[in-house]
Amino acid sequence: MRLPSLLIALFVALTAATAPACESITGPSELQRKIAHEQEVIAAYSAEVAKVDALQRRFVEAWKAANEQKELKAYRDALEGQVLPALDAYVKAAEAMPTGSPELAEIHKGLVDAYRGARESFQGFTSELSEANVESGYKALLEKMDAVKKAEAAYLEKLKLYYAKNQVDLVPAPESTPARP
């Protein structure tokens, strides 16, 4: 008669000892929790992409329109009145994007830094613009925008790897880098 109560006690003890272990097996792992968090970060980041991309397209269009100007004064006016404000709006929006994790923040930083540098180059080019330096200044500006294009390619590659690591498909965006409007 003592055997059934001993078996019951042993069963209760065994159940109590293994229950926490079973919970960890059935619950999400640390890796799964991290991936879920990163997926939330990616969703918040992605929700802002269309707005920021639209601002980048506005900058590209303004730059193309400015480059169609034939007179230096009209060109400078277009740079000051349309291109620089459009570039400023894009950079501010890119800076404000919700990165949400150190890894995404680091990936995003390279792109933002490249566009900050481009903004400085555009400001310098515009403020020093003259007949004597328009060609050399524009060449330097194009070199800066080529650096932006390289930074954007590196950004997209890192973003693709980050998304894949966190089990999210990166939807390719249309080519919009304004290296050569």
Beta strands in the chain (DSSP E): none
User: In this predicted model, what pLDDT tens digit does every residue of 75-131 receive, in sequence order?
Assistant: 999 999 999 999 999 999 999 999 999 999 999 999 999 999 999 999 999 999 999
User: Which pLDDT band, with edges at 50, 70 and 90, does 31 fall under?
Assistant: confident
Domain ranges of the chain: 32-165
User: Which pLDDT band, with edges at 50, 70 and 90, does 156 fall under?
Assistant: very high
* Number of neighbours of residue 73 by Cβ within 10 angstroms: 9
Does the global pTM surpass 0.75?
A: yes
Q: Alpha-carbon distance 152 to 85, whole Å?
A: 21
* Mean pLDDT across 2-30: 59
User: In this predicted model, what pLDDT tens digit does every residue of 40-88 receive, in sequence order?
Assistant: 999 999 999 999 999 999 999 999 999 999 999 999 999 999 999 999 9
Whether the CB-CB separation of 83 and 52 falls below 8 Å is answered with no
